[in-house]
A and B are shown apart, each in its own frame.
Chain A
Amino acid sequence: MKLLEYEAKEYFKQFGIPTPMGKMVTTPEDAAKYVESLGKPVVIKVQLPVGGRGKAGGVKFADIPVEAKEAAKQLLGMTIKDLKVEKLYVEEKVGIVNEIYLGVTIDRNRKQHVVLASSEGGMEIEEVAAKTPEKIVRFYVDPLTGLRSYHANYIASKLGYRGGMMRKFSSFVTKLYTLAVEMDAELTEINPLAEVADGFLAADARLNIDNNALFRHKELQERLLDSYQGELTEREIEARAEDLTYVELDGDIGIIGNGAGLTMATLDSVMIHGGKAANFLDLGGGATPERIGKAVKFVLRDERTKALFVNVLGGITRCDYTAEGIVAAREELGLRKPIVVRMMGTKEEEGKAILKKNDIDTLDSMEEAAEKAVKLAGGDA
């Protein structure tokens, strides 16, 4: 789950991370009012779940309330990457001496948190890593000790800070790491982190939360569906609301499988036989006829779907349930799109019998079934 800058900054403040004064607003009037109360020049930034807002013209500066009102008016009328701007963050402009990068993420191979810091803030860290890798400090945190202050001191001194600034940067790093662990962040980064005359401020904030950990962050769980805006397509959001694991693709063959690996392999088989999948839909384990019916309806309703390929390997998922779900969904929709089913395993014979009675073909091999699905989709074209 990706939080917007202003949401991330609420958490930054909770964890004691220094951030410039700022406020989220939704109208030009509120922007002006805030600048009035602040009495300082500001930067106004669109709040969208997509990157590259600066290049898209989504950041403006204002010195006085009337300028802020005008800037906010312009920004609120914008559409960036198909997303309408509805929220702005108005923040005091800070006197930046240097732009730093600081991030905490998870290294899959080492199975540890890694702190990344660089004196080259303001540009994409991937770009820094590619061009000047020596300018990135990487520190891998031992999960059993956590990030101790001497670790953070090491990172700060590697960036060239001494004395009071070293201690301030070190404290900043420690707080961001604490936030990363306690908030279950997959990634949190500050780019740029502003070095100002007497310390450091988070000029931007990125915070992506591990969806598996939302049971610990109930206040975020409620906002989960909203957070998909911009990240997922409309169809994908609809699928999430129906609790389906679904990814939209750009072909015309609907794919339903059980298990992520098998479903991916099903897409691959279709591709190898010259077809293109319209979607990825993983039923997970132990689906009921109702759940299978829901999935089948979801994919068949999609006007792009010319044929449906259901591939189920019965372990805890039952082939008879699968067959019942398919038949019921087709009846309910009254659609006669071609369906190819490959099923194997638990209650295979029963499942095949149900499908045969309803004139739905079953095949034993995944490859043959993929070939047939491609042919059926093509026949309709």
Chain B
Amino acid sequence: MTKFINKDTRVVVQGITGSQGMFHTRLMKEYGTKIVAGVTPGRGGQESEGVPVYDTIHEAQDNHEIDASIIFVPAPFSLDAALEAIEADLDPVIVITEGVPVVDSIKLVASAKAKGTTIVGPNTPGVIKAGESKMGIMPAQVFKKGNVGIISRSGTLFYEIASQITRVGLGQSTCVGLGGDPVVGLDYIDMLKWFQDDPETEAVALIGEIGGDAEERAAKYIKEGGFSKPVAAFIAGRAAVPGKRMGHAGAIIQGSTGTADSKINALKKAGVAVGELPGKVAEELLRLL
């Protein structure tokens, strides 16, 4: 399993010369992330936000020691970018890009699995280790170093709950956005396994939403004893209607599967404190810790 990220993680930004890539490279650097290189094919030799740009990861590796990659390239080119990062032994590979075709995500996830690489996303806000490093687009000001790990499928709801955790006087360890697409690299269970062994995490906030059954499977895993630290959860979409995609490609109730009630019930049965409103998650964590 990956180390995920910390203050020493050396990062390459793929798609560093695009507007998103530039903007977030600046914010990540401000937060303390060690960004050592950028890649944009055809822009090799330039600089972006004070970071040297290369045409390929291979070339960047000839000049720098690199551990991990964050990808901002547009959807049509994201599979290629991610495969390049996997082949170059970078880990984790974080795909921020929204709108990646599912067929590409399937190929990407299978290639990563064959190599043992951790893929976060696509369509993820990324990963942050509070107070040390962030590889993502989350607003830094809502996070404070602490002992709560966060796993979330959504972005802004994740920031909302993180800010409330901070407001009640707690803080965060490592926080991971899984991504809002139907097929993503990381699941809740992968992260629960990781948090179980992470000495800096003492409790977990699990933020889910309608669609699929990843939350139900996480609940089963917790119930069977796979994860022993306290968990508080929030599931968005109780007011959603079946058959409609609620913003995220993966947020859709199909037939009778993927409802918020099914997820909430499964988590409750596993002994997880499920907040009725997002604000209750922080209160529950305060009680549990």
Instruction: Please give the residue numbers on chain A whose beta carbons come within 8 Å of chain B beta carbons, in ascending order.
Output: 106, 108-109, 111-113, 126, 142-144, 181, 184, 186, 210-213, 215-216, 245, 247, 249, 257-265, 267-272, 277, 280, 282, 285, 313-316, 344-346, 365-367
Contact = CB atoms under 8 A, between A and B. Distances in A.
Contact of A267 (B110, B138, B154, B240): B240
B247 A280 contact: yes
Nearest to A270: B239
A315 B277 contact: no
Given A210-B101, A345-B139, A366-B279, A261 B156 contact: yes
A315 B137 contact: yes
Contacts of A345: 139, 141-142, 159
A164 B142 CA distance: 65
Interface residues of B, number: 62
B93 to A, nearest CB: 15
Contact of A313 (B156, B210, B217): B156
B139 A264 contact: no
A261 B110 CA distance: 27
B277 A367 contact: yes
State the majority secondary structure of interface residues on A: mixed
Nearest to A142: B110
A268 B277 contact: yes
23 contacts: A108-B213, A126-B255, A216-B76, A216-B101, A247-B244, A258-B156, A260-B154, A261-B152, A261-B247, A262-B154, A262-B160, A264-B209, A264-B239, A264-B246, A267-B238, A268-B236, A268-B237, A272-B276, A280-B240, A313-B160, A316-B23, A344-B160, A367-B279
A142 B163 CA distance: 41
Interface string B74-114: 01100000000000000000000001111111110111001
Given A109-B213, A212-B102, A260-B247, A265 B76 contact: no
A302 B110 CA distance: 45
Interface string B231-251: 000101111110011111111
Interface string B216-238: 01000000000000000010111
B274 to A, nearest CB: 12
A249 B212 contact: no
Contacts of B213: 108-109
Contacts, number: 166
Contacts of A264: 154, 157, 209-210, 236-237, 239-240, 246-247, 251
B155 interface: yes
Contacts of B156: 257-259, 261-262, 313, 315
A265 B103 contact: no
A368 B260 CA distance: 23
B186 to A, nearest CB: 11
B183 A245 contact: no
B139 A346 contact: yes
Contacts of B277: 265, 268-269, 272, 366-367
Which 7 residue pairs spanning A and B have beta carbons closest together? Answer: A261-B154, A260-B247, A259-B156, A261-B157, A213-B101, A262-B156, A315-B139
A258 B158 CA distance: 12
B205 interface: no
Contacts of A142: 110
B153 interface: yes
A143 B110 contact: yes
